[in-house]
Structure 1
Amino acid sequence: MKDRKQAAIQRLARLEGQVRGVARMIEEDRYCIDILNQSLAIRSALSQVEILILQDHADDCVDNAILSQDPDVQRRKFKELVEVFEKVCR
Protein backbone atom coordinates (compact mmCIF):
# COMPACT_ATOMS: atom_id res chain seq x y z
CA MET A 1 0.00 0.00 0.00
CA LYS A 2 2.91 2.29 0.71
CA ASP A 3 4.03 1.82 -2.90
CA ARG A 4 0.57 2.71 -4.23
CA LYS A 5 0.44 5.79 -2.04
CA GLN A 6 3.79 6.98 -3.35
CA ALA A 7 2.75 6.20 -6.93
CA ALA A 8 -0.49 8.17 -6.47
CA ILE A 9 1.37 11.15 -5.02
CA GLN A 10 3.87 11.11 -7.89
CA ARG A 11 1.10 10.88 -10.48
CA LEU A 12 -0.77 13.76 -8.86
CA ALA A 13 2.37 15.90 -8.91
CA ARG A 14 2.75 15.16 -12.62
CA LEU A 15 -0.94 15.95 -13.13
CA GLU A 16 -0.50 19.26 -11.38
CA GLY A 17 2.18 20.17 -13.89
CA GLN A 18 0.03 19.01 -16.80
CA VAL A 19 -2.90 21.15 -15.64
CA ARG A 20 -0.64 24.19 -15.38
CA GLY A 21 0.63 23.38 -18.86
CA VAL A 22 -2.89 23.28 -20.27
CA ALA A 23 -3.68 26.62 -18.64
CA ARG A 24 -0.56 28.05 -20.25
CA MET A 25 -1.59 26.58 -23.61
CA ILE A 26 -4.97 28.31 -23.33
CA GLU A 27 -3.34 31.61 -22.36
CA GLU A 28 -1.04 31.31 -25.38
CA ASP A 29 -3.99 30.59 -27.72
CA ARG A 30 -2.52 27.25 -28.73
CA TYR A 31 -4.30 24.99 -31.20
CA CYS A 32 -7.58 23.72 -29.71
CA ILE A 33 -7.00 20.08 -30.62
CA ASP A 34 -3.61 20.12 -28.88
CA ILE A 35 -5.28 21.50 -25.75
CA LEU A 36 -8.01 18.87 -25.91
CA ASN A 37 -5.46 16.10 -26.35
CA GLN A 38 -3.64 17.27 -23.23
CA SER A 39 -6.95 17.45 -21.37
CA LEU A 40 -7.72 13.85 -22.36
CA ALA A 41 -4.26 12.81 -21.12
CA ILE A 42 -4.99 14.48 -17.79
CA ARG A 43 -8.30 12.68 -17.49
CA SER A 44 -6.64 9.34 -18.23
CA ALA A 45 -3.88 9.98 -15.70
CA LEU A 46 -6.43 10.94 -13.04
CA SER A 47 -8.29 7.69 -13.71
CA GLN A 48 -5.07 5.82 -12.96
CA VAL A 49 -4.78 7.62 -9.62
CA GLU A 50 -8.38 6.68 -8.83
CA ILE A 51 -7.60 3.04 -9.61
CA LEU A 52 -4.66 3.09 -7.18
CA ILE A 53 -6.86 4.56 -4.46
CA LEU A 54 -9.62 2.04 -5.14
CA GLN A 55 -7.10 -0.82 -4.97
CA ASP A 56 -5.92 0.46 -1.59
CA HIS A 57 -9.50 0.71 -0.39
CA ALA A 58 -10.20 -2.87 -1.46
CA ASP A 59 -6.97 -4.23 0.01
CA ASP A 60 -7.34 -2.39 3.30
CA CYS A 61 -10.83 -1.18 4.20
CA VAL A 62 -12.86 -3.82 2.38
CA ASP A 63 -10.54 -6.62 3.46
CA ASN A 64 -10.80 -5.48 7.09
CA ALA A 65 -14.59 -5.41 6.81
CA ILE A 66 -14.60 -8.97 5.50
CA LEU A 67 -12.26 -10.14 8.26
CA SER A 68 -14.36 -8.38 10.90
CA GLN A 69 -17.21 -10.79 10.20
CA ASP A 70 -19.56 -7.93 11.13
CA PRO A 71 -22.41 -7.98 8.59
CA ASP A 72 -23.17 -4.27 9.11
CA VAL A 73 -19.58 -3.23 8.43
CA GLN A 74 -19.42 -5.54 5.43
CA ARG A 75 -22.65 -4.10 3.99
CA ARG A 76 -21.40 -0.55 4.52
CA LYS A 77 -18.15 -1.21 2.66
CA PHE A 78 -19.98 -3.02 -0.13
CA LYS A 79 -22.42 -0.11 -0.43
CA GLU A 80 -19.48 2.32 -0.67
CA LEU A 81 -18.05 0.34 -3.58
CA VAL A 82 -21.39 0.23 -5.37
CA GLU A 83 -21.82 4.00 -4.93
CA VAL A 84 -18.37 4.66 -6.38
CA PHE A 85 -19.08 2.44 -9.38
CA GLU A 86 -22.41 4.20 -9.89
CA LYS A 87 -20.57 7.52 -10.09
CA VAL A 88 -18.04 6.10 -12.53
CA CYS A 89 -20.82 4.83 -14.78
CA ARG A 90 -22.56 8.20 -15.03
Structure 2
Amino acid sequence: MPAQAGLHDAGEGDACCDVDGERKSHHSDKVKDNLVSRLNRIEGQIRGVKGMIEKDTYCDDVLNQIAAIQSALNSVGKILLEGHMKSCVVERLEQGDKDVIDELLKTMGKLMK
Protein backbone atom coordinates (compact mmCIF):
# COMPACT_ATOMS: atom_id res chain seq x y z
CA MET A 1 0.00 0.00 0.00
CA PRO A 2 1.47 3.43 -0.90
CA ALA A 3 2.44 5.70 1.98
CA GLN A 4 -0.40 8.13 1.22
CA ALA A 5 -3.13 5.53 0.70
CA GLY A 6 -6.14 6.27 2.84
CA LEU A 7 -5.03 9.79 3.70
CA HIS A 8 -7.86 11.50 1.84
CA ASP A 9 -10.44 9.12 3.29
CA ALA A 10 -9.43 10.00 6.84
CA GLY A 11 -12.40 12.27 7.49
CA GLU A 12 -15.05 10.00 6.05
CA GLY A 13 -17.30 8.75 8.81
CA ASP A 14 -15.08 10.19 11.52
CA ALA A 15 -16.37 12.31 14.35
CA CYS A 16 -15.36 13.43 17.79
CA CYS A 17 -17.56 13.86 20.76
CA ASP A 18 -17.49 14.32 24.48
CA VAL A 19 -18.88 11.21 26.18
CA ASP A 20 -19.39 11.64 29.91
CA GLY A 21 -16.59 14.19 30.09
CA GLU A 22 -14.20 11.95 28.17
CA ARG A 23 -13.04 13.01 24.73
CA LYS A 24 -13.17 10.22 22.15
CA SER A 25 -12.78 9.79 18.42
CA HIS A 26 -15.09 7.72 16.31
CA HIS A 27 -13.34 6.56 13.17
CA SER A 28 -15.06 4.58 10.46
CA ASP A 29 -14.23 0.88 10.33
CA LYS A 30 -12.35 1.52 7.07
CA VAL A 31 -10.09 4.12 8.71
CA LYS A 32 -9.56 1.98 11.83
CA ASP A 33 -8.65 -1.04 9.72
CA ASN A 34 -6.21 1.07 7.71
CA LEU A 35 -4.54 2.47 10.83
CA VAL A 36 -4.34 -0.89 12.59
CA SER A 37 -2.88 -2.50 9.46
CA ARG A 38 -0.23 0.21 9.21
CA LEU A 39 0.61 -0.08 12.91
CA ASN A 40 0.89 -3.87 12.65
CA ARG A 41 3.34 -3.43 9.77
CA ILE A 42 5.33 -0.89 11.81
CA GLU A 43 5.38 -3.27 14.76
CA GLY A 44 6.85 -5.95 12.49
CA GLN A 45 9.45 -3.51 11.18
CA ILE A 46 10.50 -2.66 14.74
CA ARG A 47 10.89 -6.35 15.57
CA GLY A 48 12.97 -6.66 12.41
CA VAL A 49 15.27 -3.81 13.49
CA LYS A 50 15.67 -5.42 16.90
CA GLY A 51 16.73 -8.64 15.16
CA MET A 52 19.14 -6.71 12.94
CA ILE A 53 20.82 -5.19 15.97
CA GLU A 54 21.02 -8.57 17.70
CA LYS A 55 22.72 -9.96 14.57
CA ASP A 56 25.19 -7.06 14.37
CA THR A 57 23.81 -5.93 11.01
CA TYR A 58 25.70 -3.10 9.32
CA CYS A 59 24.69 0.22 10.94
CA ASP A 60 23.69 1.92 7.69
CA ASP A 61 21.23 -0.87 6.92
CA VAL A 62 19.68 -0.55 10.39
CA LEU A 63 19.47 3.23 10.06
CA ASN A 64 17.69 2.90 6.71
CA GLN A 65 15.10 0.63 8.33
CA ILE A 66 14.65 3.13 11.16
CA ALA A 67 14.06 5.87 8.57
CA ALA A 68 11.39 3.70 6.93
CA ILE A 69 9.70 3.18 10.31
CA GLN A 70 9.73 6.92 11.01
CA SER A 71 8.16 7.59 7.62
CA ALA A 72 5.47 4.99 8.26
CA LEU A 73 4.68 6.51 11.66
CA ASN A 74 4.49 9.95 10.06
CA SER A 75 1.91 8.59 7.61
CA VAL A 76 -0.22 7.28 10.48
CA GLY A 77 0.08 10.67 12.17
CA LYS A 78 -1.01 12.48 8.98
CA ILE A 79 -4.10 10.31 8.66
CA LEU A 80 -5.07 10.92 12.28
CA LEU A 81 -4.31 14.64 12.06
CA GLU A 82 -6.42 15.08 8.93
CA GLY A 83 -9.36 13.26 10.51
CA HIS A 84 -8.97 15.26 13.72
CA MET A 85 -8.93 18.58 11.87
CA LYS A 86 -11.92 17.69 9.68
CA SER A 87 -14.05 16.53 12.58
CA CYS A 88 -13.01 17.38 16.15
CA VAL A 89 -11.42 20.75 15.41
CA VAL A 90 -14.26 21.87 13.14
CA GLU A 91 -16.90 20.78 15.69
CA ARG A 92 -15.19 22.58 18.54
CA LEU A 93 -14.73 25.76 16.49
CA GLU A 94 -18.41 25.65 15.52
CA GLN A 95 -19.21 25.45 19.25
CA GLY A 96 -17.11 28.57 19.81
CA ASP A 97 -14.19 26.74 21.46
CA LYS A 98 -11.13 28.66 20.23
CA ASP A 99 -8.82 26.80 22.65
CA VAL A 100 -8.80 23.94 20.15
CA ILE A 101 -6.44 25.97 17.94
CA ASP A 102 -3.79 26.18 20.69
CA GLU A 103 -4.25 22.48 21.39
CA LEU A 104 -3.83 21.69 17.70
CA LEU A 105 -0.71 23.86 17.38
CA LYS A 106 0.84 22.17 20.42
CA THR A 107 0.09 18.72 18.98
CA MET A 108 1.47 19.65 15.57
CA GLY A 109 4.63 20.94 17.24
CA LYS A 110 5.10 17.54 18.89
CA LEU A 111 4.51 15.71 15.60
CA MET A 112 7.08 17.85 13.78
CA LYS A 113 9.93 17.28 16.25
Give the TM-score of the pair, scaled to structure 1. Answer: 0.85
Instruction: Give the percent of matched residue pairs that are identical in Structure 1 and Structure 2.
Output: 38
CA separation in 2, counterparts of 1:87 and 1:15?
A: 20
Unaligned runs of 5+ in 2: 1-13, 15-27
- CA shift for structure 1 position 13: 0.5
Q: Which of 57, 79, 92 is residue 65 of structure 1 equivalent to? A: 92
Q: Which has the higher helix share?
A: 1
Query: 2:32 maps to which residue?
Result: 5
- CA shift for structure 1 position 66: 2.5
Shift in alpha-carbon separation, 1:85–1:16, aligned structure 2, 3 A: same
Alpha carbons 2:77, 2:111 under 8 Å: kept: no
Q: What's the Cα RMSD here?
A: 1.4
Is 2:103 the partner of 1:80? yes
- CA shift for structure 1 position 76: 1.6
Unaligned runs of 5+ in 1: none
Query: 2:7 maps to which residue?
Result: none
- How many residues are paired up? 86
